[in-house]
Structure formats: C-alpha cells, structure tokens
Structure 1
Amino acid sequence: MDESRDVIDKLVQITKIGALGDGEKVRIQALRLVRALRQSSNPLADHIQNEVFSQNFDQGSANAIRRVKDSGLNSPVPADNESNSDLLSVEDPIYLPNGFISSEEIRGPLNLIISERKNTRRLIDAGITPTSKILFTGPPGVGKTVCAKYLAQKLKVPLLTLDLATVVSSYLGRTGNNIKKALEYAKSKPCVLLLDELDAIAKKRDDSSDVGETKRLVTVILQELDQWQGENLLIAATNHYHLLDAAVQRRFDQIVEFKPPKLEELMQVGIALVSGGNVPKAWIYFVASLMEETSYSDFQREINNLRKALLLEGESGAIEYLKKLLERQCAADDRVQRKNLALLLVTKGKSSQRTASKITGVSRDTLRSALAAGAQ
C-alpha cells in the first residue's frame, strides 16, 4: 500500500470516529497519523500537529495523547495495523456498581494475591517468586471478569483487556504480532492485564483439525507467558479449560476455578441490586432459588427485569413476571418442585401464603397442609 493511500485510509478512520463524537480517539488516531508521516518526512505531519495539538509534539506529547485519569497510561494503546482498531480496552477507574461479591473459595486466593503484590519485596528477599500469572477458569457469567476488575481496583491500577477471540485474524502472522504488541505494551505500564477467551488461541496442539497457524499461536503465547515478569499481574480467562494446551496450563502460577453460584451468593447480589428499592426480599429469594447453579449474569438479568416490571406495572405485573420465569425454569407438571418453591417462599423468604400461591400456582390449602406437616 503506497503512502497516499495509507494516509487516506487513516483520515477516513479519523473522520468515522469524529462522526461518533469520540474526541479523544480522534486525537489518538491523529497522533498515530502524525508519527507515520514523520517517519517519511512528510510536511503534512507538522500541519496536522499544529491544527490538532496545542502542545509541541516532541516535548509535550504526553499531554496530547490518551490519558486514563492518574493511571500512568500516557501513551496510546497499540492498534491493529490494518484496521487501526485498538488491541486493548482500558478501564480506569474500575467501576463495580454492585460491589464485589464472591464465594470464600474465590475470595481467599484473590486476597492472597493482593497481599503478595503489597509484599513483593519481602517475598523476593526470602527467595520466593510472587504470583504474576493467574488462570481463571469456569463457565460464562460466574464472575471471572468481575474478579479481574476487583484485583485491579484493589491494586489501584488500570485494567487492560485483550479479547483473544476478536484479535484472531485470517492473515498469517498478524495475530501473533498483535498479541506481542499488546503484551509488550502491558509490560511497560502499571496495570492488570486480562487475556480473555484464552482458549481461542491456546488450544491443544494435538488437534488434527487445526491449521498450522493455530499451533504457531500456541508457541507465541507460551513465549509471551515465559517472558512475563515484573510487578504487573497477568490474568487469563477461559470457559473451556479442557481445551487448553497442557503446556499453556503449566505456565500459570495459580489456577482459580469458578463454579456456578449458590443460593446464598445470589441473594447477596440480589440485595445489592435492589438496594434502596421496594422489591420484596421474598421475591429475590424466589428468583435466587430458581437460578441457583446458573450464573451471576443470568440472575442479574432476571432481577433487573423484575424491578422494571414492578416499577412500570406494579405488584400485579411483577408477580406475572415471576410466574413466567417459573414457567421457563420449571415444568408445568412438576408439582413437587412448585410446592417446594412455595414452601421456601413462605419459610425462608418470609412471603405470605397468598403471594406464594399466586406465584407458584400451588393452592393455599395444599400449602397450608404442607406447612402443617412440616411443623409436626
């Protein structure tokens, strides 16, 4: 591609971003264009610099490029050479709207990692290498990304995310180069790096259906993991641990397994979600009972839908929503489960028998008899 065509493509990209109203990304892309033009001694570089940036480019460029609060990220994240799209997403400050809720078996390892990062010098002096590479494994929606955010928040550094499922390219060598660029950048800045969807590039090399490029990518990620040193924390996440190459699995200092949430954990999330609202606790308990062993994200969706139904359609609309949720999660002819849910609503959720009957379809007579039998 000749220089004039390359310049046109970059200007089109800048125009598209500007049309979306993202002024900061316009400045980032303009900065990249200036750098490219400077390399070829094109006088257009000075013209763009004078029009876009008020500071001297060489001496004050730190003020003319992307900053993320006080994170120390004072240079633009690397971009794909062809599409010009950023390889890394940046989150700083970290936002956890519902706080951090997790099981003790997850919270324990995370707090130990935080303690390690705060006592790195003591560990090194004792001849112990601090944890620098962690693998989060578990089904979708169980809190892997939230835990990565929590670690970054506690360590007071930005979270950089490389979505490996989207960085894969059909061009030979391009994916590997993008991965190298992204990790090189992350190693040079205070941050927590999240490699999301690790299984997209690190599958077992004995899979005969994979082309040679996939095997080369495994080699690339192995080399990058081996070279990851220093104070920054690398977290990789996968929904399919069993698909990962064994050599990749061995590169991590810790492996944290995330399991589907229990009822008690969902209750904590639900109460946090409706904080300050008027959603009865019995309803939260009902949804948590139905959604146990699913995922936090599915549960949050249903709780938010319930809140909307209550706000817009009142109590009758909310109860109708709960009935429809029950129909989706429980077979209509499963009378035993419906009765058990009605009993839980009354005994654990502190719901009235009338409301429990309305939601589950279990008659009040049946419910009273079951309660009486349980009290004996």
Structure 2
Amino acid sequence: MKKRNVINLIRYHEDRNESAFRNEAAEIARDFDANGDTQLAEYIMALISDANAFVPQAMEEGADFFDKMESSSVPLPLPQAISDDVTGICNAIAHNVGVNKFLFQGPPGTGKTVTARQIARIVARDLYRVDFNMVIDSKLGQTAKNIGRLFAQINSLRQPDRAIVLFDEIDALALDRVNQHDVREMGRATSALLRELDNMNEQVVLIATTNLYKALDKALVRRFDAVIDFGRYSREDLLGISEVLLSGLLQRFKGASRDMRLFRKIMSQMRELPHPGELENMLRTSLAFSKPDDSHDYLRRLYAQTCPGSSVTDLPKLRSQGFTVREMETLSGVPRSTISRELREVGDE
C-alpha cells in the first residue's frame, strides 16, 4: 500500500465520495493480495462489501464508474430547431428499436447537460452520469481496461430499458488520436471506447456531450445515431430566453421590479449576447448583488454589464440608446422633469 492510497482514502471519505472510497479500498486489497497478505485482502473486501459499510447512494449495485443524477423539472427554453431535435430523440427512445446513441455538441452554457436531464424526466428513465475521474488512469493501458469495466456495468444494469447513461464532456476520453502527444495510449483508450459502443446493450440510451466537437475522433462521431448542434441560438432566441430566465429568478427575488420592457432594452445593448448558462449567471448575480430596498438596482447593475464604461447618469447617452424619459428616470434616479430640462439644454447647445 502506497502513501497515495492512504491520502486518497482520507480525501474520498471527507468528500463523501463513496464510490471512489470503495474503489480505492479495493485497490489496496488487491495490492495486499499481490504481496501475499491474502487474509488482510479478504478482510478489506469483506468490509467494503458489508451492508454496514459505505454504500453509494442512489447507484446501481456494483457500479463504480457512474452515479445516479436527478432529472430536471426546470424548463430550459430552446430554439425551435433544437427543440424539434429533442422531441425526435424522445420519440426514438419511446420506440426502443436500438436508435439509442446521441451526441450533443456546442459551446459551453448552451444547455446540453440540462437537456439530457430534461429528456430523462420526459421519457421517465433513470439518469446515470459517468465519472471520468474514475475511468481515466495514469497507468499505461489501465484507462482502456476501465472503459471495458464501465461498459460491463452499463450492460448489466438491472433495468436497461429504464436507463440513460450520460457521458458528460466525452472529449475527456476520445479526442482525435492522430493529434495527441501520446498516440498509443490515447489510441488504446479510444479504440476500447469504439469497441464497447458497438457492443452496448441497445436498450440503454447513451447521451454524450462535448464542447470540442471538431477535435473528436471521427470514428467515434460515426458511432452516434444523431448529432445535435446546440450552437443554433439566434440573437432573438437569446433575448427571449433571457426574459424566461429572469421571470423564473424574479420568483425568488420578490422585491425586484418586473419591468420586462426596460429589461429587454438593456439586454439589447449587448453587441453579442451570451449563451443561456452565462446569461443565467449574469442575471442571478445582478439580482443577488442588488440592494434589497431598491427594486430597480439589479437593472442598473445589468446596464453596467451590458454597457461597460457607460453611466446611468449619462442622459444623452441613454437617449441615443433609445431609452424613454421614464426609463431614464428608473435607471438614473433623476426626476423626469429634470431629465427633460437637461436634455433640452443639451439639444439647444
């Protein structure tokens, strides 16, 4: 047993990472067994197999490489083209005829993982996410062996027709083999993954996500029945989604003003709107950091983010951006009569 094993045991215990704890304990047992201490190895295995020992919560029995995830009931608005593709995936799963491997590709924050959770809810299946930290190993050839063990566990799920397995950021395993420094080791892992995908139980649905689609091994991409592009958001899509996201957040921030027209005008000042994940973070932060006794403060904070370097007291600038006198009053805190007078004076000059 090495110092690394002890450190890992302590870390996994503190993190409450039960599957990793059991896996590390099993490795220690194998090490003792290899060194001739069979009784101690058997004792350790008996401890981690005992009903009173660590048992992964909400996991399939014997599954070391994936954990059960909760499906999502929080709606994520999607562009019509992506929504239609997601509906098609749900239909394919319902038919249960072996069209069961789907790749979601697109920039970060476009809703790939959230959509996988939504699909699990819609089709009433359990969702399991693969822990690549457990699969990838620095030992030569071990990653390929772990991939084999992972798929053995997937193929032996007790209810395969009720399971969806999520390979979140599959590029961690299968970047293009010819572009890697260690071609042989990456080749072994990717070849193992391709082989196992070909032999996967057709009743199990597999959804993979990637932010690095162009860097994926082309042979891997061909293994998927459909590739869904999550990068198809128009500016109008993102403006509409920002309103939906804000409406949901405002339910938690009761004192904040619900001025959707002013909000949309502020968001329209951005030359390039971020994708939904970043949008949500931007809105949540503006609301969370706003003054509790000022219902419009979050709008001023949003304006500062959408128009960096601009000030809500720069009335001529606000007018040039299309804000009405009423909206300027809301943003600047300056009375309408004063705003009208100052703008007239600027116009007279």
TM class, shorter-chain normalised?
0.7 to 0.9
Tell me the percent identity. 20
Matches within 5 A, 1:90-129: 90-91=68-69, 93-96=70-73, 98-120=74-96, 129=97
How far 1:368 sits from its partner (Å)? 8.9
Structure 1 residue 352: deviation in Å?
Answer: 3.1
| TM-score, normalised with respect to structure 2 | 0.73
Aligned pair partner of 1:193 in 156, 159, 165: 165
Structure 1: state its 5+ residue gaps. 56-60, 79-86, 121-128, 370-376
Q: State the match for 1:65 in structure 2.
A: 55
Structure 1 position 225 matched with structure 2 position 225:
no
The number of equivalent residue pairs is 324
CA RMSD of aligned residues (A): 4.2
Check 1:28–1:211 CA distance in 2 against 1; reply closer, same or farther (3 A cut).
closer
Q: Which residues in structure 2 correspond to 1:88-167 (within 5 Å)?
A: 88-91=66-69, 93-96=70-73, 98-120=74-96, 129-162=97-130, 164=132, 167=135
Corresponding residue for residue 289 of structure 1: 268
| Consecutive unaligned residues in structure 2, runs of 5 or more | 345-349
**Residues 310-359 of structure 1: per-residue CA shift (max 9 Å, x gap):** 35463464354234213339899xx999657544xx59xxx734225669
Contact 2:164 2:206 in 1 (8 A): yes
Greater RCO structure (CA 8 Å; 6+ sep): 2
Deviations 1:101-145 (A, max 9, x none): 22221222222222232232xxxxxxxx44211111110000001
Distance 1:183 1:290 in 2: 49
| Aligned counterpart, 1:264 | 240
1:198-238 CA-partner distances (Å, limit 9, x unpaired): 23332334437553222333322221221223211111111
Answering whether residue 332 of structure 2 is matched by residue 321 of structure 1, we say no
Matches of 2:144 and 2:285, distance apart in 1: 42
Who is 1:125 aligned against? none
Q: How big is the shift at 1:65?
A: 3.3
Distance 2:138 2:287 in 1: 44
Alignment-mate amino acid for residue 121 of structure 2? Q
2:333 maps to 1:355:
no
Pick one of 248, 255, 258 that aligns with 1:280.
258
Q: Is the 8 A contact 2:12 2:21 kept in 1?
A: no
Query: For residues 280-318 of structure 1, what are the alpha-carbon distances to aligned partners after superposition, in whole Å with 9 as ceiling and x for unaligned?
Result: 233542564356641111111111112113354634643
Contact 2:71 2:117 in 1 (8 A): yes
TM-score scaled to structure 1, two decimals? 0.69
Cα pair 1:306 1:321 within 8 Å, conserved = yes
Distance in 2, matches of 1:48 and 1:166, equals 19
The CA distance in 1 between the partners of 2:228 and 2:342, in whole Å, is: 43
